[in-house]
Amino acid sequence: MTAHRRYAFRAFGAILLVCVLAVAVGGGCAKRKTAETPSLSDAAAESSFALKEGSSFIIQQTGVAFEGKFDVVVPTHNQRRIVLTSYQPNVSASVAWDLIQLVLTDEARAALKAYEDGGRNGEPPKPEYGQLMESGTVSEIGLKSTHDVALPAEWQLGDAADRSSALFVGSDVYQELSRTRYSTVRVDVVGAARKAVGIDADMNALITAISDRAKSLDGKTDVDLMKAEEGRIDYSVKMNGVETTVKAIQARNWYGEMIVLDDARHPLILAFAFDPDLSGIQVAEEDVNALKGLLSYRVAEINP
């Protein structure tokens, strides 16, 4: 697929809401509760639906990056539609994706800056947005023995090949989380973050601080070791437009929390919340929230 970036700016008024980032890309974004299932020993669990070639997902994030500027927005302003263009469960997959973002127009940014510089007197300007669309493909996604996961923030415009499990965890990872509750899951958050933020100095300083903190834990903590909670949780997601509850595995390593569909054939990552321990790191809170929004995501809808 030829790389392309299409700008179709159209202004409309809206009130900008800030989604407070917490678990799975924002508090309240994912509805879930602990189920009564006592253990994860049943590795043969299956969902009530089957994914196949042509199945699609909509994932949402609360952080947008546009021309070196970063905003925290409501999830519906930052949606990525993903279609499985080929799929062999537990073997391999390829996807095509489109990212639709609503970003402030230059005029709206200028008006907002003037309002802030002027001491925020009077009514704030109404934000006006333009629609930014990007697209690409990811092929050669491995779904069996890999322990690597490529976050959507790593995906580049155009064609890309990736041996990681991308939107899924590898079959081996699923089996280990199900049977022993422990598995190594390597999420290259530092690499993904650098691709997402470009050359922004403040954000890169934050990324370097996170990388240094992770390296300092070497020998004390395995930052990639993911531990699943006992039992399963109920996770709420739209299925063909209808709110549906599915069983999921809730697991965490040092970098954050992952919610995985409890299905041996389709271990889809339903959500990833980037949330490392940043205590003691002197960084701006808005930069932290923006980075969390850029790296975290949740599956909002599945269309099998």
pLDDT tens by residue, 65-100? 766 677 788 888 889 999 999 999 999 999 999 999
pTM, entire model? 0.79
Question: What is the percentage of the chain residues whose pLDDT exceeds 70?
Answer: 82
pLDDT band at 45 (very low <50, low <70, confident <90, very high): low
| 246: pLDDT strictly greater than 80 | yes
Q: Rounded to the nearest 5 degrees, what angle is found at the Cα of 21, between the Cα atoms of 182 and 66?
A: 110
Phi/psi-derived region of residue 80, left when phi > 0, alpha when psi is between -120 and 50, beta in every other case: beta
Burial classification of residue 292, based on how many CB atoms lie within 10 Å of its CB (0-12 exposed, 13-18 middle, 19 or more buried): buried
> pLDDT digit string (tens) for 18-36?
333 333 334 333 444 444 4
The C-alpha atoms of residue 120 and residue 31 are separated, in whole angstroms, by 36
Q: Is residue 133 within 8 Å of 5, Cβ to Cβ?
A: yes
Express as a percent the part of the chain with pLDDT over 90: 48
